[in-house]
Structure 1
Amino acid sequence: MKTSKPMEPVTQRGDRNENAWGVFLVFLRLGLTSFGGPIAHLGYFRDEFVNRRRWVSERRYADLVALCQFLPGPASSQVGMALGFSRNGYSGALAAWAGFTLPSATGLILFAFGISSHGTTIPVGALHGLKVVAVAVVAQAVWGMARNLCTDMPRVTIMVVADCIALLMPSALGQVGIIAMAGIVGLLLFKPESAGDHLPQPITISRRAGVLWLTLFFGLLVGLPMLTALLPYQAIADVNAFFLSGALVFGGGHVVLPLLQTAVVTPGWVSNDVFLAGYGAAQAVPGPLFTFAAFLGASMNVAPSGLPGALVCLLAIFAPSFLLVAGALPFWEQLRGNLRTQAAIMGINAAVVGLLLAALYHPVWTSAIHEPRDFGIAVVAFVALVFWKLAPWLVVAGCGIAGWAVSLSL
């Protein structure tokens, strides 16, 4: 049975039941322009869906980010799936995933087919400019979320403490621990007066369906290794390796690379040189780094390889994310309406801002700002996003051109 749909809050606009094609086009544009890794992706999403399109409020967006931080897998892709669910159910979630994933997956598959110029024709200076723009995007997200979610001294304090701990313990496990502790602190400190400000997402997933999706996730997690041992087919081994990589990694992005290297290089499915070449190309494309799986699938020394191998590995590594989001959302929506849960979420949201602030320094700032000119480009990009209200894709293109022009003048 589908959940009833509440009245739309006044902060949203447009048709909540937007068709899947419309969702796909929105995320396709983001997939073509979202450089900078998962933290930057969350910044792009916030600007697009909170500020411009008003699909969700600031608070509800932060709630989704907090949920996806708890789940293993690529947080930005999972937030995208959840936003797609809110617009058009299952088809919206699949459309959001396809749109955001297709550009980088296509580029990496082409690179695997031998078009090595895909990774080398982009000037080094332009690539550095794309790293610099990520600083501005994340800074904009921190600025906006802090103003809306850290509105009193206790929440500002939680934000600062979370930031400091994240810098001292830069690990995915540390981030999960910070969020858990912030929830406990919020439960003890905050006393919401009513649940009246709870504006649930129009998620059309029943609790029974959520249980089925979670059961399927854990069934595959346990059953695929057993099936691989019983049936010596390479396709099953591929699905097992990439499903486990997507299911057991907190933090996403670069965190999954050691697992993938062990999964495909150690047994000889992909050579180490090819693996490293693909990893380099993955840095030059927008969108989620998990699409590196498509490159590996297309580069296999054993069948299936080519396009079939790319599709098998790409679907396998993202399947855990879809199952977990679809399984967790119906319970998350009901928990969010509880006063005690709201108190915990107030602490968690403040901690999420602190985690983003820590990520703004490392790895975003430390990997991009090396010279005064880098800082200058980042400041101009930040002003363009926050005060001039330019579209993010224009700012991304401008920073790429600026980085390239600066490199020519040296």
Structure 2
Amino acid sequence: MQRTGSVGEVFLAFLRLGVTSFGGPVAHLGYFRDDLVVRRRWMDDRAYADLVALCQFLPGPASSQVGFAIGLQRAGLGGALAAFAAFTLPSAVLLVAFAAGAAALGGPVGGGVLGGLKIVAVAIVAHAVWGMARTLTPDARRAGIAVVALALALLLPAAPGQLGALAVGVVAGLVLLRDGDSPPENELPPFGVPRAVAVGCLLVFVLGLVVLPLLTVATGSGAVALADAFFRSGALVFGGGHVVLPLLQSGVVQTGWVSPETFLTGYAAAQAVPGPLFTFAAFLGAVSDVGPGGFAGAGIALAAIFLPGFLVLLGVLPFWDAVRRRPRVRAAMGGANAAVVGILGAALYSPVFTTAITGPGPLVLAAIGFVLLTAFKAPAWAVVLVGAAGGVVVSFT
């Protein structure tokens, strides 16, 4: 298919996102929407929400999968790899540097900056929820689905709550939205993944889960064991973000590869850098007692934890693009899209709002960020700078 952009364009767009996207996967989706949907108009809101809903259903880091798919649609496989590299490497490099002994932010100023970045994430996510709600919940039925999804996402544990909310959205869409949207035309262009390649990616995904443990036993290689542990972590987590932490802890702490103290120190550092939380794997690979350690260990862990999610995404994209045009599938996706709004609303409350808004000062700073985004149309990176500076001011008040 004819691509509409270049690899360089995709790389630069995601590099900016990679150095400014603080706040975790939900906030990342807000940054993506603000820059790629609203400002650059690479796709529309409904197509973006369809992609977000699909990636929420798949194992792996949801926000990175969304970025990978947008890069793929924009500039082919080179664009997908450019989006992944540009969005991931800034935080990965910072965490490897931290693992090598670089000083972390400290003191009242550093703490204020980190607090401000958490606060500005509230504004980013609120802006995303507001914008997507106007597009994806235009009537009472879809608004009702969003409210039910919000309740499920808040009342049930993270992964079951999100998956349950999406499942309820799909069922409700099939029942309530049969006479809904007209067939999509060019909302989401084909991704250009041949079906043979898609099937091959799914086979590689399954083989990775089966063969890597066998190779670990057969070879006794620390590098293979490291790849196996991180591949399994990436393959078995849904939604990404903080949900992967128990799997990582099981893979590297309970096995004695990384001490609990080092694990928690690295996790704290991962909160202080932009980009996907999955780059925490780079820190763990660098400090692990198993495998080569250093840059080589970081590279193995980083590639292994992201690979399964991208393989599954490539495996389902061509089939999903075909079936989504069927009336019942459109109804199901309409319900899922409404549920995505509810899930984002739940995440806006917890952990984003409850973690960041600890008093009147943080609430005022979050409101300033929201007004800058909505009324003044300020770019997200500028709001991040305002939030960081405002966080320092709030910390001294």
Q: State how many pairs are aligned.
A: 395
The answer to whether the Cα contact below 8 Å between 2:117 and 2:388 also exists between their aligned partners in 1 is: yes
The answer to whether the Cα contact below 8 Å between 2:181 and 2:331 also exists between their aligned partners in 1 is: no
- Residue 177 (structure 1) shift: 1.9
SS of corresponding position for 1:118: coil
The structure 2 residue matched to 1:59, chosen from 46, 56, 69, is: 46
Alignment TM-score, normalising by the size of structure 1: 0.93
Q: Structure 1 residues 294 and 55 mapped into 2: Cα distance closer, same or farther (>3 Å)?
A: same
**How far, CA to CA, are the matches of 1:165 and 1:174 in structure 2?**
5
Matches within 5 A, 1:267-346: 267-346=255-334
The residue aligned with 1:103 is 90
The answer to whether the Cα contact below 8 Å between 1:23 and 1:95 also exists between their aligned partners in 2 is: yes
Q: Structure 1 residues 130 and 293 mapped into 2: Cα distance closer, same or farther (>3 Å)?
A: same
- Residue 119 (structure 1) shift: 3.9
CA RMSD of aligned residues (A): 1.4
The answer to whether the Cα contact below 8 Å between 1:132 and 1:377 also exists between their aligned partners in 2 is: yes
- Residue 255 (structure 1) shift: 1.3
The answer to whether the Cα contact below 8 Å between 2:183 and 2:325 also exists between their aligned partners in 1 is: yes
The structure 2 residue matched to 1:31, chosen from 18, 24, 28, is: 18
Which is worse superposed, 65-74 or 294-303? 294-303
SS of corresponding position for 1:123: helix
The answer to whether the Cα contact below 8 Å between 2:190 and 2:318 also exists between their aligned partners in 1 is: no
The residue aligned with 2:234 is 246
Which residue type is aligned with residue 207 of structure 1? R
The answer to whether the Cα contact below 8 Å between 1:87 and 1:202 also exists between their aligned partners in 2 is: no
The structure 1 residue matched to 2:171, chosen from 178, 181, 184, is: 184
The structure 2 residue matched to 1:49, chosen from 36, 43, 65, is: 36
| Deviation sequence 1:102-161 (CA, Å, 0-9, x none) | 10000000011111x134376111111101101100000010001001011100111111
The answer to whether the Cα contact below 8 Å between 1:198 and 1:336 also exists between their aligned partners in 2 is: no
The answer to whether the Cα contact below 8 Å between 2:234 and 2:309 also exists between their aligned partners in 1 is: yes
The answer to whether the Cα contact below 8 Å between 2:149 and 2:168 also exists between their aligned partners in 1 is: no
SS of corresponding position for 1:267: coil
The residue aligned with 1:118 is 104
Which residue type is aligned with residue 104 of structure 2? H
**How far, CA to CA, are the matches of 1:406 and 1:180 in structure 2?**
41
Which residue type is aligned with residue 188 of structure 2? P
The structure 2 residue matched to 1:70, chosen from 33, 57, 78, is: 57
- Residue 183 (structure 1) shift: 0.9
| Deviation sequence 1:183-232 (CA, Å, 0-9, x none) | 12111222247425453323110122111111111111122112212221
Which is worse superposed, 188-197 or 34-43? 188-197
The residue aligned with 1:364 is 352
Q: Structure 1 residues 194 and 378 mapped into 2: Cα distance closer, same or farther (>3 Å)?
A: closer
**How far, CA to CA, are the matches of 2:184 and 2:211 in structure 1?**
44
Runs of at least 5 residues in structure 2 that lack an aligned partner in the other structure: none
The answer to whether the Cα contact below 8 Å between 1:132 and 1:368 also exists between their aligned partners in 2 is: yes
The residue aligned with 1:21 is 8
The structure 2 residue matched to 1:219, chosen from 170, 184, 207, is: 207
Matches within 5 A, 1:374-393: 374-393=362-381
The residue aligned with 2:248 is 260
**How far, CA to CA, are the matches of 2:377 and 2:180 in structure 1?**
34
The structure 1 residue matched to 2:388, chosen from 400, 405, 408, is: 400
The residue aligned with 1:10 is none
The answer to whether the Cα contact below 8 Å between 1:198 and 1:337 also exists between their aligned partners in 2 is: no
**How far, CA to CA, are the matches of 1:50 and 1:92 in structure 2?**
17
The answer to whether the Cα contact below 8 Å between 1:108 and 1:294 also exists between their aligned partners in 2 is: yes
Which residue type is aligned with residue 259 of structure 2? S
The residue aligned with 1:163 is 150
**How far, CA to CA, are the matches of 1:137 and 1:250 in structure 2?**
23
Identity %: 55
